[in-house]
């Protein structure tokens, strides 16, 4: 089969899947054993024709897919993919460009240059900030904290990039009790250790207790210090007081890293921008493209107010590498932990070009509005209470005691009209609703609420 036909056949499969992704049950419909049977065809000696492989893959995988790309998946914060972003990602695969630098792909390097500038503009970050296109929030946190580690140790005369951490002055990390687990993993990977964290309590809404942060900074001995704050608590959507945290941290010579995997996008809309006031004063920022911006996986961004520290922590050079460093085109690889890597900038460029600044703002606003619609609709049902103030796209729902709530969540997942997950918040089991897909409509929310009402009636 000609490549042209194979690509058309594949495109057809994708389009068919996406057309119907909102029709069937949202959760998986098969058990792992039947998936194993479908995939474990036996590794053949001679291989199989490309066309057969694709048909077999579709047949094996589709029953085991979860409709996370569809309009009624409200688990975690998964986003979807805008049409242009998805197709740009297909082109990226077709072009197969290693986005190492402008020698391996001038187009990939320049697309990242432009898209990075657009992202800073939309998120209200300093125009002078450096940036890297990484795999996701985990990697963005790791790179941001690597730049922080470089900077706070350089200030006390320690070159961590050459000397490492043995014998280095201790680095203290002040972070909220409500920080995302990826912060701890980043600290482990960087050799700072999760134990470096001095935990600051969070308030009832899940945002860091700013007064306690100030007190912790005041009480701490001078020395290399990193403050980790968050935009968008994974349960409540609450954002830390970035302005206050930055002011207090900077008075103490500390670095401020913002984990805003989804919540940083609050800055893109006039209706939620107040939640991230002071954002531009931080030292590094992490966010995702594959969550709220609706770029396909894998897509995260790290930004840094200190390009020198950022590049010092990530760049490397070798004799055979050309076009490296301060050439006419920014070298993407100076700002990320990978060398050979996917040309991620194309999909982000496409999403931003397609949506425009206003479209990104609308996407954020619409998701928040739909989250409020969920809170209103579900809160009006008998025996249902909304457990958080819906400030962003996150809603926490209680159906009674823990056992009852878990039972209702399981029944909703079995029903398949929509998919929501469970969480434990302030010692209670709750259902967690995240609205982050660009295709979700009011009708999807209403259909989901109606399904939940029906389920509650059968369980009563």
Ligand X SMILES: *Cc1c(COP(=O)(O)O)cnc(C)c1O
Enumerate binding residues for ligand X (CB under 6 A).
77, 136-138, 180, 182, 230, 232, 234, 259, 261-262, 288, 300
Question: How far is residue 409 from each of residues 27, 132, 237, 332, 393, measured CA to CA in Å?
Answer: 12, 38, 20, 43, 19
Choose between 242 and 312: whose C-beta lies nearer to ligand X.
Answer: 242
CB 367 within 8 A of CB 393: yes
CB 151 within 8 A of CB 283: yes
Choose between 79 and 332: whose C-beta lies nearer to ligand X.
Answer: 79
Least distance (Å) from ligand X to the CB of residue 234? 5
Q: Residues 6 or more apart from 234 whose CB is under 8 A from it?
A: 77, 180, 394
Least distance (Å) from ligand X to the CB of residue 396? 15
- H-assigned helices in 21-105: 32-39, 50-61, 83-95
Choose between 234 and 350: whose C-beta lies nearer to ligand X.
Answer: 234
Least distance (Å) from ligand X to the CB of residue 202? 13
ω into residue 194 within 30 of 0, thus cis? no
- DSSP, collapsed to helix, strand or coil, labels residue 272 as coil
Question: In angstroms, what is the C-alpha Rg of the chain?
Answer: 23
Choose between 143 and 234: whose C-beta lies nearer to ligand X.
Answer: 234
Least distance (Å) from ligand X to the CB of residue 36? 26
- The CA distance from 137 to 290, in Å, is 9
Least distance (Å) from ligand X to the CB of residue 429? 20
What proportions of the chain, in percent to the nearest 5, are helix, strand and coil?
Answer: 45, 15, 40
Choose between 283 and 288: whose C-beta lies nearer to ligand X.
Answer: 288
Choose between 160 and 304: whose C-beta lies nearer to ligand X.
Answer: 304
Least distance (Å) from ligand X to the CB of residue 137? 2
CB 247 within 8 A of CB 281: yes
CA angle 418, 423, 425 (to 5 degrees): 135
Question: How far is residue 417 from each of residues 40, 292, 373, measured CA to CA in Å?
Answer: 30, 22, 17
- The CA distance from 117 to 417, in Å, is 40
Choose between 143 and 456: whose C-beta lies nearer to ligand X.
Answer: 143
Choose between 160 and 302: whose C-beta lies nearer to ligand X.
Answer: 302
CB 175 within 8 A of CB 199: yes
- At 445, list the tokens: 């929310």
Q: Which of 170, 195, 182 is nearest to 230 (CA)?
A: 182
Place of tokens 């939940």: 452
Least distance (Å) from ligand X to the CB of residue 106? 28
- CB closest to ligand X, residue no: 137
Query: Residue 452, CB half-sphere, CA atoms under 13 Å: how many?
Result: 30
Q: Which of 425, 456, 68, 450 is nearest to 237 (CA)?
A: 425
Choose between 203 and 253: whose C-beta lies nearer to ligand X.
Answer: 203
Question: How far is residue 236 from each of residues 206, 230, 403, measured CA to CA in Å?
Answer: 7, 12, 21
Least distance (Å) from ligand X to the CB of residue 72? 20
Choose between 76 and 165: whose C-beta lies nearer to ligand X.
Answer: 76
- The CA distance from 284 to 286, in Å, is 7
Least distance (Å) from ligand X to the CB of residue 394? 10
Choose between 116 and 300: whose C-beta lies nearer to ligand X.
Answer: 300
Question: How far is residue 281 from each of residues 222, 247, 377, measured CA to CA in Å?
Answer: 21, 8, 38
Least distance (Å) from ligand X to the CB of residue 207? 12
Strand 428-434 relative to strand 385-386, pairing: unpaired
Choose between 116 and 136: whose C-beta lies nearer to ligand X.
Answer: 136
Least distance (Å) from ligand X to the CB of residue 231? 8
Least distance (Å) from ligand X to the CB of residue 121? 22
């Amino acid at each position: 089969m000609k490549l042209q036909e194979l690509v058309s056949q594949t495109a057809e499969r994708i389009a068919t899947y996406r057309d119907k992704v909102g029709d069937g049950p949202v959760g998986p419909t098969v058990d792992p054993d039947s998936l194993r049977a479908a995939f474990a065809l036996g590794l053949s000696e001679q291989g199989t024709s490309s066309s057969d492989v694709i048909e077999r893959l579709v047949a094996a995988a589709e029953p085991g897919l979860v409709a996370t790309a569809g309009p009624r998946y409200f688990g975690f914060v998964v986003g979807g993919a805008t049409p242009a972003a998805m197709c740009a990602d297909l082109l990226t695969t077709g072009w197969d460009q290693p986005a190492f630098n402008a020698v391996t792909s001038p187009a990939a390097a320049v697309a990242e240059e432009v898209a990075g500038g657009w992202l800073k503009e939309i998120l209200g970050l300093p125009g002078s900030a450096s940036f890297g296109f990484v795999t996701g929030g985990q990697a963005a946190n790791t790179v941001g904290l690597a730049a922080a580690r470089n900077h706070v140790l350089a200030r006390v005369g320690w070159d961590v990039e050459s000397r490492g951490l043995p014998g280095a002055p201790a680095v203290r990390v002040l972070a909220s009790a409500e920080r995302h687990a990826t912060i701890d993993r980043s600290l482990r990977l960087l050799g700072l250790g999760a134990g470096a964290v001095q935990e600051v309590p969070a308030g009832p809404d899940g945002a860091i207790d700013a007064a306690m942060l100030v007190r912790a900074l005041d009480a701490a001995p001078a020395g290399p210090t990193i403050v980790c704050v968050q935009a968008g608590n994974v349960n409540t959507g609450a954002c830390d007081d970035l302005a206050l945290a930055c002011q207090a941290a900077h008075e103490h010579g500390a670095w401020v890293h913002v984990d805003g995997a989804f919540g940083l996008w609050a800055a893109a809309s006039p209706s939620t921008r107040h939640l991230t006031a002071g954002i531009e004063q931080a030292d590094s920022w992490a966010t995702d493209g594959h969550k709220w911006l609706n770029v396909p996986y894998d897509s995260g961004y790290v930004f840094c107010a200190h390009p020198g520290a950022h590049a010092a922590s990530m760049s490397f050079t070798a004799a055979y590498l050309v076009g490296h460093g301060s050439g006419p085109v920014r070298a993407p690889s100076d700002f990320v932990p990978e060398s050979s890597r996917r040309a991620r900038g194309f999909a982000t460029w496409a999403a931003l070009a397609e949506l425009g600044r206003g479209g990104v703002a609308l996407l954020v606003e619409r998701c928040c509005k739909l989250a409020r619609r969920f809170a209103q609709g579900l809160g009006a049902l008998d025996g249902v209470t909304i457990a958080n103030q819906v400030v962003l796209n996150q809603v926490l729902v209680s159906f009674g005691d823990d056992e009852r709530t878990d039972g209702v969540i399981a029944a909703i997942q079995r029903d398949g009209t929509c998919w929501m997950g469970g969480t434990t918040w302030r010692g209670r089991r709750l259902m967690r609703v995240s609205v982050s897909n660009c295709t979700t409509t009011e009708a999807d929310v209403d259909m989901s609420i109606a399904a939940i009402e029906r389920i509650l009636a059968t369980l009563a």
